[in-house]
Structure 1
C-alpha cells in the first residue's frame, strides 16, 4: 500500500503545482467541458477573473460567448463556433466586455483536448488583453493625417466638449459637480446649489470631502473615488444617508465617472447626486402595504379554501355537471390566489431581509426529477425531458430550490404557446451544479434580459398576452443568490429561452 500512497501524494503535489502555475500566469486561462450541454466553463484562473471583472462563481457554468454581451454580429464569433464544432484550434481578436460594461480587445487562442479515442472532451482557451495594442494601431493610422488639420480639429473639439458639458451641467434636473484630479470642485450646477442651499463661493474651489460640515467625507465613498474611480471603473448607485446642513436628513444616490479629455481638461470627474429620500419612503410604504395586505388576505382565504374542500366532499348525488364544474373552478382560482399571496409574502420577506433559508444536505438530482415529474402530471400535454446524473449533494433549502425549479418550468410552459417540448438539464461544472430549463417559445429581447429579474418587471408584449405580477423571477433570483449561486437567462426573440442557475456542491 505504501508505494500507492506515495504515488498519490506525488500526484497531488504535482496537481497543486500545475494549479499554482496556471493562477500565476498573466494570461487568462479557461477550460470548457465539450461533453456537456452548451460547452460550459468548468475552470478559470485568477488572471481571467482580473481581465473580465467577473468572480469565479459568476464565470463557472457560462458559455464563453457571454463576454460579448449584446455585440453578437462579430465575424469572430462564427470562426470560434466553427472551430469548436470541428474540434480545431483557432486564434481571433474579438471585442469583449467586462462586468462593468467596458470594452476590451481580447486575443483568444482556443485548443481542443482529445481523449485516447480522438474525441474532443475539453477546450482550453487562453486570452490576452490587447486593448492597448489596438489603441496604438488606431493612433498610428490617425497620425498619417495632416498634423495641422488634426490640431485644429482637436482644438475645436475641445471647445465644443467644454460648451456641451457646461450646457448639460446647468440644464439637467439633477445635482452635478465637476472635479479635477485632486477632487477640487471646478463647477456646480444650479440644481446642486439650490438643493443643498449653498452658494458658488461655498462650493467652487473647495475639496469635495471638505464641503459644508464634511458631509461627503465618508470613508466608503472616499475609497471608491480615490481607489476605484482612477482605474476607469465608475461609481454606480452609491447610497449616502446623512444629516445635511439646511435640508435635514436625506438619502442621496451618488454616481461618479472619469472624463478622459486631453490637454487642460484632462482627468475631470463628473459626479451626479440624486435625492432618493422620498422614493425610499414610498418603497417602504409599498412594502409595508404588501406585507400587511398579504397577511390580511391569507386568513380569510384559508377559511374559504376550507369551506370549498368541505363542499367538494359533500357534493349531493345527482348534482349537475355545471354545479360540479363551477365548484372545481372556484377551487382552482382559490389555489391561484393563494399562490399569488404567497409570492407577495415572499417578496415582502426578501425586501425586509426576513426570508429564512433552512440549509440541509440534499440530492440535487432527486429534487430536480421529483419537482419536474410533479409538474408533468399537471401539464400532460407537454413533453418535459429530464437529464440529471450528477450524483451531487447540495447544502441548501430544499423547498426553496424546488420552488425555483417549479417556477422556471412553469414559466417555460406559460410562455411557449403552441409548443409542447421543454428540456431540463442538471450537470456538474467544476465545484457547482448547473440547472438549465430550455423552452422553444417566444424568447426574451436583449433589452428585457437586463431587467427580467427585477421586482414587478414585466415585458410590455408579455403584459398584453399573459397575466402576472412579475415577482416570480425576482424571488428565484434572490433565493439562488442566498444559496451563493447565480441565475441568468440566454434568449433570442422567437427562438426560445434557457434559464440557468448554479449551486455550490457540498464538500465531503
Structure 2
C-alpha cells in the first residue's frame, strides 16, 4: 500500500542510502521517472548529481551538500536535465531519516517540476513588452515567408513530408518524389496511407503517427522497414515533429525520412567480413599457439636467456592477438544477435574475487582493493559477467600508468547489485563519455598513448544490457574514472535477503 501510495503521488520521490558510499538512490517512484525521463534501472545506484549533467556550478548544490553533511533538511530550487537533455527546474524538499539514536540512515527527496513558474519569473524580470513584440514580429515574418521556407525544404537532402492533423499530405519535397518515384499530383492532397495504392499503409508508420507522436513530441530516429512494390525494400529512419504553435500551422506534422538501406547494407557487409575474418584467423592462431607452447617446453632447459625471452614475448603477443580475435568474434555475435547467455546461479562476490586474483597473478604492478560485498547469488552468465569485470579492471590498470591502485566496491542498492571500479588515471572528457560504449569508439586524447580498437566497453555494455542491467561512467580528465554497473536482483535467488 505504501508503494502504491508513493507511485500515485504527482511529486517525484526518491530515497538515498546515506550508509553507502556516494549516497546512491535506492528507491524512486513513477512520477520521478516521468519528470526525469529516465527509467528506474537507469536511476537506481546513481548519485542525484547525475541530473545536473555539466551544470554543476549552482549555489543550490552547496546547500544540498551542507545539509547532507550535517544530516539536516533543506528546500532548494535547482536546474536539472532530463534524459533527452531538456532543462527543467526542480523544487526539492530533502529530509533525513534517522534511527532511534539520531543517526542518519537515509535521505528522502520530494521534488516538483516548477519549470513553468521559473520561466514566468525570468520573463517578468526582462523587458517583457519589448521582447514579446520582437517575438511576435519574428513569428509573423516567418509565417508570411512560405515561399522562402519552401525553397529551403526543397534543397534538403532528405525526404520531407508535411501532413495535416488528419494525416493528409500537404506537401512533399523533390527528394521524396525522386526517392519514392512518385509525382506531386498523386501525392499532395491524398491521405498518407493511401499513397501508391496503399503502399504507405505501414504498421510501424501508423504506430508512430497515431500512438507515439501524440504523447511524445518530437520523435527522433524511428526505424521503419518496408518492401515497396516498385522500388524494393527500404530501411528508413524517421524524425517526426508536431507543430504546436497557434494559427495557420497548428498541429501540422513534419516527417523527415532518411533512406539508410545502402548504409545498413554496407555495415552488414563489414560485420560479415569481421565475422569471417575472425573465424578464419582463429584456426591458424590456435595452431600457432600450440606450437609456441611446444617450443616453450622444448627450450625450458636450454641456457639461452635471449631465446627464452623471445619465446616469452612471442607467447605474450600471440595471447594478445588471441584475445583481440575473441573480442572481434564477440562483436560479430552481438551484431548478428547470436550472443548466447547460459544463466545459472553463481556467487557474485566470488566471481569478482576470482577476476581480481587472476589479474593480480598476471603480474600487474597495480594493487586491486575490493571493499563491500553483495552476499548475493546472481542468476546469470558467469563467464560473461566475469568478462565485464575483467575488462573494466584491465582498463582501469591500463589507463592509470602513473598510479598503482584500483578500487572495486560491491553493494546492493534497492533490488540491484552494484559494482563500481575506480581508478586515478587519465580520465575521460565529459563530452566523450556518452560515446565510449559505442562500437569502435576511442577517446581522442588517448588514441596515441594507449593502443586498442574500442570494442571492449561496447561488449561490456551489451553483456550488461542482455542481463537487463545498466552501465555508466563518471569521470574527469586528470582525476580518474569510476565505471559502475547494476544488475537486477528481481526473481534472483538471494534477492529477498538483499532487501
Provide closer, same or farther for how the CA distance between residues 270 and 324 of structure 1 changes in structure 2, counting only shifts above 3 A.
same
Give the superposition deviation at 1:304: 0.7
Residues 225 and 235, structure 1, Cα contact 8 Å, conserved in 2: no
Report the equivalent of 1:301.
Answer: 285
For 1:201 and 1:69, the matched residues in 2 are separated by 49
Q: 1:119 aligns with which of 103, 117, 122?
A: 103
Matched, 1:73 2:57: yes
Please point out which of 235, 238, 257 is paired with 2:222. 238
Unaligned segments of structure 1, at least 5 residues: 1-16
TM-score norm. by structure 2 comes to: 0.92
Instruction: Normalising by structure 1, report the TM-score.
Output: 0.91
Corresponding position of 1:462? 446
Distance 1:91 1:152 in 2: 37
Alpha-carbon offset, residue 189 of structure 1 = 1.7
CA distance in 1, matches of 2:149, 2:52: 31
Partner of 1:495: 479
SS of the aligned residue for 1:30 comes to strand
Write the deviation string for residues 125-172 of structure 1: whole angstroms up to 9, x where unpaired: 111122233344455557841599457524445348857743542222
The residue aligned with 1:404 is 388
Partners of 1:168 and 1:77 in 2: how far apart?
A: 44
**How many residue pairs get matched?**
492
- In structure 2, what is the Cα distance between the partners aligned to 1:164 and 1:402? 59
Deviation string for 1:429-458 (max 9, x for gaps)?
A: 011110001111111122211211111111
Q: State the alpha-carbon separation in 1 of the partners of residues 149 and 351 from structure 2.
A: 57
Secondary structure at the aligned position of 2:78 is classed as strand
Deviates more, 1:353-362 or 1:164-173: 164-173
- 1:55-81 alpha-carbon deviations (Å, 9 max, x no partner): 222211111122223333333233322
Query: Pairwise CA RMSD of aligned residues?
Result: 2.2
Aligned to 2:497: none
For 2:457, the equivalent position in structure 1 comes to 473
Q: 1:177 to 1:398 in 2, by over 3 A?
A: same
Alignment of 1:165-244 (within 5 A): 165-244=149-228
**1:385 aligned onto 2:384:** no
Q: How does 1:220-369 map to 2 (within 5 A)?
A: 220-315=204-299, 317-369=301-353
CA contact (8 A) 1:369 1:388 kept: no
CA contact (8 A) 2:373 2:409 kept: no
Instruction: Specify whether residues 219 and 140 from structure 1 end up closer, same or farther in structure 2 by C-alpha distance, changes over 3 A only.
Output: farther
Summarize the Cα distance change of 1:405–1:316 in structure 2 as closer, same or farther, 3 Å threshold.
Answer: closer
Q: Give structure 1 regions of 4+ aligned residues with deviation exceeding 6 angstroms.
A: none
Tell me the residue number matched to 2:2. Answer: 18
- Going from structure 1 to structure 2, the CA distance change for 1:289 and 1:488 (only over 3 Å counts) comes to same
Q: What secondary structure does 1:349 align onto?
A: helix
Q: What is the CA–CA distance in structure 1 between the aligned matches of 2:135 and 2:108, rounded to whole Å? A: 46
Secondary structure at the aligned position of 1:293 is classed as helix
Q: CA deviation at 1:316?
A: 6.2
8 Å Cα contact 1:51-1:129 kept in structure 2: yes
